[in-house]
Amino acid sequence: MTKDIFVTKLGQLLAGWQLLCPEAECYETIEQLPMLRASELIYWLHVDANQQDWMCDSIDFLKKLDATAKVIVLANVPEQQEAMLAFQHGALGYTHAYHDPVVLSQVRQAVEFGGVWLGQDVLRQLIQVGRKLSERGADSIEQTLKQLTPREREVAIRAAQGLSNKSIASELEITERTVKAHLTAVFERIGVKDRLQLAIRINERLSS
């Protein structure tokens, strides 16, 4: 069955955690974790305020250790920004470390069954961004890119991402000269001077 592993500097389980899963293991650092694991694991990462770096590194570490690892972050001082970071690095849950066992249990179950758990404020932040993407971003960019031929689009997108002509060429397996040719056409069609303007044009659609 699924097993719980807590990593906390406190050195022992909080009362709430103990109620949640009495058989959990507890370690003070990720380095102390045993390497080989048989069962499916849920890692609970307890982070204090301003430990984003450690948190990210730890999640990365756990993911590398065990690709199927499910990581839940327990934040002493929950912050939206930190939550976003955690999810970016592959955490599946982010919640207050001192929530009562009932809530932690929801989090655990959601994660165990392949879902994720996040607070409403984090969701709202994500949604807000998502809306911008679908309102302005996608549409306008498509509008802009629709003027181009398929090949030109491929080149334009890569150029806008900051790739050099040489990189684009080798990625598309064509000559650098051809890349230039496509780009010249793109600039003309889109109405920009160079790749910098192109990048701004394509990326700016999405900002603020």
Partner DNA sequence: GGTCACATTGTACTTGAGTACAATAGACGA
Partner DNA sequence: TCGTCTATTGTACTCAAGTACAATGTGACC
Burial per residue of 138-150, b for 16 or more beta-carbon CB atoms within 10 angstroms, e otherwise: eeebeebbeebee
**From its own copies, DNA, none, interface partner of 150 (C-beta below 5 to 8 A by class):** DNA
Place of tokens 């920004």: 81
**From DNA, its own copies, none, interface partner of 15 (C-beta below 5 to 8 A by class):** none
**From its own copies, DNA, none, interface partner of 182 (C-beta below 5 to 8 A by class):** DNA
Place of tokens 């050195």: 11
Place of tokens 């996608």: 138
Nearest-angstrom CA–CA distance, 147 and 167: 24
**From its own copies, DNA, none, interface partner of 120 (C-beta below 5 to 8 A by class):** its own copies
Determine, following the binding rule CB under 7 A, whether residue 200 of this chain makes contact with DNA.
no
Determine, following the binding rule CB under 8 A, whether residue 44 of this chain makes contact with its own copies.
no
Determine, following the binding rule CB under 8 A, whether residue 197 of this chain makes contact with its own copies.
yes
Containing 88, the helix (H) or strand (E) segment is helix 80-88
User: Segment contacting DNA (CB under 7 A): 69-77, 120-128, 130-138, 192-200?
Assistant: 192-200
CB nearer to its own copies: give 26 or 141: 141
Q: Scanning residues 136 to 155, which ones bind DNA (CB under 7 A)?
A: 149-152
Tokens of 14: 């909080």
If we measure between CA atoms, which residue out of 164, 137, 144, 168 comes closest to residue 155? 168
**From DNA, its own copies, none, interface partner of 81 (C-beta below 5 to 8 A by class):** its own copies
If we measure between CA atoms, which residue out of 126, 138, 90 comes closest to residue 111? 90
Nearest distance in Å: CB 196, DNA: 7
CB nearer to its own copies: give 11 or 113: 113
* Cβ neighbours of 79 (radius 10 Å): 15
Chain positions contacting DNA, by CB under 7 A = 149-152, 159, 164-166, 172, 174-175, 177-178, 180-184, 187, 194-196
